[in-house]
Amino acid sequence: MKIVNQGIEKIDAMALVTGKPVYTDDLAPENCLVVKVLRSPHAFAGIRDIDMAEALKIEGVECILTYRDVPGNRFTMAGQSYPEPSPYDRLILDQMVRYVGDPVAVVAGITEKAVEKALKLIQVSYDILDPVLDPDKALDHKSIIHPEADYHAREDIGNDAKRNLCASGEFLSGDAETEFSRCDVVVDRIYHTKANNQAMMETHRTFSYLDLAGRLVLCTSTQVPFHVRRIAATALNIPQSSVRVIKPRIGGGFGAKQTLVSELFPALVTLKTGKPAKMVFDRAESFTASTSRHEMKIRVRIGADRDGHILAIHMDTLSNTGAYGEHGPTTVGLSGHKTMSLYNMARAFKFTYTVVYTNTLSAGAYRGYGATQGTFALESAVNELADRLSMDPLDLRLKNILKPGDSVAAYYGETIHSCALPACIKKGREMIGWNQKFPFVNISNTKVRAVGAAIAMQGSG
Amino acid sequence: MQITCRINKREFIRDIEPDLLLIDFVRSLGFKSVKRGCDTSNCGLCTVWVDEKPVLSCSVLAARVNHKAVTTLEGLEEEAKEVGWFLATQGAEQCGFCSPGLIMNILAMKAEFKNPTTEDIKQYLAGNLCRCSGYESQLRAIKNYFDLQGVAHENC
């Protein structure tokens, strides 16, 4: 085997390890305007007035842009293909701010100091609204986060913005309730996963300029350059042929850069001024004003007969998409389909989901894309089921998992052509010394050391 | 204020603002290997040497290097290639953004330790964060670099 099982050095390896200037900020022209954003201190508010007279007096400030200066085309920043499942619920700058950190004004200037000084001098008066902070209370809350008339979804995602509902749906295979009534044991639990940050080492950053043909060039740290081109064209109301996107080497993404984050602010400045512009998020901004993993509350019902045959699984996911719907309608699907599919021997599956808006940081894409949350929930429930059945959790899984050739009911009836999961479980059992360590060994009078198991699948290629 | 310093053996005399940070000073002079990752003196990406000792350039004023010698990875190209080859063969330079700061500290460690143990390596590099690798591939690469196979493999 000349290629398989051989290590291959990446073509850019030596450039990276010798510190060559290959990342976005290394390539930015020295004369870029520095771009920063004034962010909302309120979770939910309408902007009554923005007074920037004092800020504009600062020497070196080039421009201050507000909701009055942006095109009125709503769009989504999620990097997704046609027809774009995430609702069109954003403007570059909006008169309504929907989370602490939502942009209020864009300031561009010659030096960072001038821009920072100007940011402090902008006076904004807000009409503060009652925020929706708890996803459990979001649906039909008296505060409507997206009341705007031009809000729209591009396809049927079970959306109703007037109810703070970003997306909803149901998947049924077999008759779950009848199967549950036949079960000897049913586990019914709710698992709550939080909004995490992707925390790539290189924060969000973009620089922009007009090329020799007057075309807007965006050089940006992104995972989705083609989507950036289309979305920037929509958001800025210019043809796609007027936008060129360059993606240099990026310093990590982990899904954070599967959504536009820093792109549109310098782009707007360059279009308004004709000058090169650059925005580099600081670390705090990357945590508070980008996108996170979707917080989810997942109720799992799973039932089996006394021999450990799983008969039915019902997962009900409540996903918090935050202030905007980036990747909201799509991540939630993986919480059910990528998890229940592993237990293909079950007779019935039910997956119901609700994705709600709240006045918190918008969620987005993050490694696993919803499967992570669902795996934690279902695998925890399977372990609890094993405990109730007094069965070894690995044996319970081996009895119920899918096998090659199966038509996978919870995965849209697709056929699984290869699956080495039983061999993986067997190997893992041996390697960790499961039979000696499960459920725990006593380490001292006050401590035990325990082992636990979970299985997962994810798409690739 | 005016400062005089040597960066990678070349002399620079520059007028600077008193609050200018060393990281922004060296980057403005074209030494772009120096990266900013955390803003809070935690990640090690901005590591440079001042008079041969590693420092976090995000937490040092440029004024402090007046009459001193600063070294960035650009000044250690051959050494960087050597260490880098070990990192690359283990896939430890995945996104590469943390590699320059890490290599600056590996080379500094090499100057201080002849045969670092696994614990020495872990302690010395505790301030060099990486989001891609999980550190295992880096540890393998560093051990290979120090040719410590069999000498220091406890706790790995």
Give the domain CATH number at A407.
Answer: 3.30.365.10
Q: Is residue A111 in some structural domain?
A: no
Distance of CA A422 to the CA centre of its chain: 31
**Set of chain B residues whose Cβ sits within 8 Å of the Cβ of A7:** 89, 91
pLDDT band at B147 (very low <50, low <70, confident <90, very high): confident
A409-417, long-range: CB < 8 A, 24+ apart? A409/A173, A409/A174, A409/A341, A409/A344, A409/A349, A410/A171, A410/A173, A410/A313, A410/A336, A410/A337, A410/A340, A410/A341, A410/A344, A410/A349, A410/A351, A411/A337, A411/A338, A411/A341, A412/A337, A416/A344
Residue B153 has pLDDT above 50, yes or no: no
β-strand partners of B70? B7, B50
Which is nearest to A400 in space by CA: A429, A414, A379, A427? A379
Q: A260 to each of A25, A177, A249, A300, B6, how far by Cα in Å?
A: 17, 42, 17, 33, 41
| Residue A356, both tokens | 């709600």
Q: Does A347 touch chain B (CB under 8 A)?
A: no
> What are the pLDDT digits (tens) for A32-56?
999 999 999 999 999 999 999 999 9
CA distance A213 to A150: 33
Chain A residues 227-286 with CB within 8 Å of chain B: 249-252, 254, 282-284
Q: Is residue A183 in some structural domain?
A: yes
Residue B115 has pLDDT above 90, yes or no: no
For domain B2-74, the question of CATH label 3.10.20.30 is answered with yes
ipTM of the assembly?
0.94
Chain B: nearest CA to A30, how far in angstroms? 8
Q: Is residue A206 in some structural domain?
A: no
Q: Is residue A63 in some structural domain?
A: no
B84/A13 Cβ within 8 A: yes
Contact by Cβ (8 Å): A206, A276: no
Reported CATH class of domain B76-145 = mainly alpha
- The side-by-side arrangement of strands in the sheet containing B10-15 is B10-15, B2-7, B69-71, B47-50, B53-56
A83 upstream amide cis, omega within 30 of 0: yes
Distance of CA B132 to the CA centre of its chain: 17
pLDDT per residue of chain A (461 residues) written in tens, 0 to 9: 888 988 888 999 999 999 999 999 999 999 999 999 999 999 999 999 999 999 999 999 999 999 999 999 999 999 999 999 999 999 999 999 999 999 999 999 999 999 999 999 999 999 999 999 999 999 999 999 999 999 999 999 999 999 999 999 999 999 999 999 999 999 999 999 999 999 999 999 999 999 999 999 999 999 999 999 999 999 999 999 999 999 999 999 999 999 999 999 999 999 999 999 999 999 999 999 999 999 999 999 999 999 999 999 999 999 999 999 999 999 999 999 999 999 999 999 999 999 999 999 999 999 999 999 999 999 999 999 999 999 999 999 999 999 999 999 999 999 999 999 999 999 999 999 999 999 999 999 999 999 999 999 988 75
Contact by Cβ (8 Å): A359, A99: yes
In chain A, % helix, strand, coil (3-state, to 5) comes to 30, 25, 45
Q: Does B26 touch chain A (CB under 8 A)?
A: no
Domain ranges in chain B? 2-74, 76-145
CA distance A227 to A83: 12
H-helix or E-strand spanning residue B53: strand B53-56
Q: Is residue A218 in some structural domain?
A: no
The pLDDT of residue A186:
98
> What are the pLDDT digits (tens) for A407-437?
999 999 999 999 999 999 999 999 999 999 9
CA distance B59 to A65: 33
Residues spanned by the domain of A351: 161-197+292-427
The answer to which of A275-284, A322-331, B39-48, B112-121 has the lowest mean pLDDT is: B112-121
Give chain A's domain count.
Answer: 1
CA dihedral A118, A120, A124, A127 (to 10 degrees): 150
A294: which DSSP letter? P
Residue reference for tokens 């809350």: A141
Q: Is residue A20 in some structural domain?
A: no
Q: Does A287 touch chain B (CB under 8 A)?
A: no
pLDDT band at B137 (very low <50, low <70, confident <90, very high): very high
